[in-house]
A and B are shown apart, each in its own frame.
Chain A
């Protein structure tokens, strides 16, 4: 019996280093796995950055990768204005990102990425800042451009014209007067286009569709927009987010409008 006990002691002593070796191998394997995942992620980010941004949405693997990483960035940086689901806030002129109405560009990933990089009317030299909506109920609405103010009656006439363009109930006589103002001294055509279709090259909204950036499209809301003007802004994120993060959030935002299109199609 005593001999059996003595015989087990060396076995335990032998087992200790083996256990250590086994643990060491497990830890090493863990480190290798983590390193491999890290390197894989770095490589995926590199592929993401080197890819044509507008082609990424059709590359499902890369698209999924970007969306999964872009969502938390959006919620941390953009949701405070655009909302958790990107639906925007018309009362503050925050655009809805889930529709297909894009103020700047055509809604391509590269267009969205540019806005995220440099912002809109942000204090960055490359920021979008080509036009503002003048306050036409002020003595000097156009600043150096020499725009003349419109009277309340003029503004009401322009609203009737916009109602006509949008096929909503309107006063035909007032709409005819409003069209004259729109196309001449109001200078609305200059940014919004002669057909009121807007201009995404300068961020002028389409006035002929039922989507309104500010307010609910009521006469009162349109009156306020014309009378008091607008110049919304979006910050430039170039100094705050890394290029990969900016691309990821741009692809996520692109996916918001795509998801809605997909659900509509269904």
Chain B
């Protein structure tokens, strides 16, 4: 068996021996692999790629991507077809339009349109505000925070109560007596019969609280019906669940001053504000 002489260079394949040649080969291999990885990243990374269009995009316009999803949406909006059923001409038209738009936007940036045009500035401000709001909307507040917010903003979650309104018309000479009887708790239909009055039927049924107020304003605004001349009117706004009825004093023609009691209707988030739930309405 031949043995290498002490002066001879060791075989680089013999792993037991230190070999400068093997070291250089391994170094070169490592460098080539490193360069390969770096080059791949450089030419494919978003924003630096110049050769490859990322798979999620249909085109790059001066490194600005045009999203494939936006392309599909635009195709559906413009031609009402999905990608599979679109013709090459339709796809080309949509892509050309989108590239053209992107080029115009890029040119507008070069011309500093945002610095000149107040509408563009306003749109940019709005976009940034939306961006900030997005963070707030997607955050998950704790139950305590939600409860505190609700307590501080109860009025925002209040629903309109409902009220039954009746508009009764009596002869002028008997109106005061009728009103007294009604305020004493007498049945309205019995009082109507006894004092020769009638229900004007202007109020069809139960109304929302605000609607009842509007309704009475409307009553105040209209001129007296010919049939009600010489008659006096008593209005009542009665919450469904409260008693007794707050009948108003009789007023000539259509003027009335009902009193409304605070109320809570089923499913109501919170009680109505007392300030808006009572007091005279004209």
Contacts and interface: CB of A to CB of B under 8 A. Distances in A.
A192 to B, nearest CB: 21
Contacts of B35: none
Query: Interface range on chain B: under 10, 10 to 19, 20 to 34, or 35 or more?
Result: 35 or more
Contacts of A47: 55
Interface stretch (B99-107, B125-133, B171-179): B125-133
Contacts, number: 96
Given A243-B69, A244-B56, A54 B134 contact: no
A236 B137 CA distance: 10
Interface in A236-256: 236, 239-240, 243-244, 246
A235 B211 contact: no
A215 to B, nearest CB: 11
B137 A151 contact: no
Interface residues of A, number: 45
B68 A49 contact: yes
- Which of B129, B133, B159 has the most chain A CB atoms closer than 10 A to its own CB? B159
A32 B245 CA distance: 87
B16 interface: yes
B49 to A, nearest CB: 13
B161 to A, nearest CB: 10
B199 interface: no
B122 interface: no
Contacts of A233: 137
B264 to A, nearest CB: 15
B27 interface: no
Contacts of A243: 56, 67-69
Contacts of B76: 110
Given A49-B56, A137-B160, A151-B205, A122 B16 contact: no
B210 A139 contact: yes
Interface in A214-266: 220, 224, 227-228, 233, 235-236, 239-240, 243-244, 246
Contact of B130 (A13, A53, A125): A125
A45 interface: yes
Interface string A157-175: 0000000000000000000
Given A46-B55, A122-B137, A123-B130, A152 B15 contact: no
B208 interface: yes
Nearest to B159: A228
Interface of A: 13-14, 17, 20-21, 45-50, 52-55, 80, 108, 110, 113-114, 117, 122-126, 137-139, 149, 151-153, 220, 224, 227-228, 233, 235-236, 239-240, 243-244, 246
10 contacts: A49-B54, A50-B68, A80-B140, A108-B82, A110-B72, A123-B137, A125-B127, A153-B204, A243-B68, A243-B69
Given A117-B69, A123-B130, A244-B55, 10 more contacts: A53-B72, A54-B83, A55-B84, A80-B140, A110-B82, A125-B127, A137-B160, A149-B208, A151-B204, A152-B206
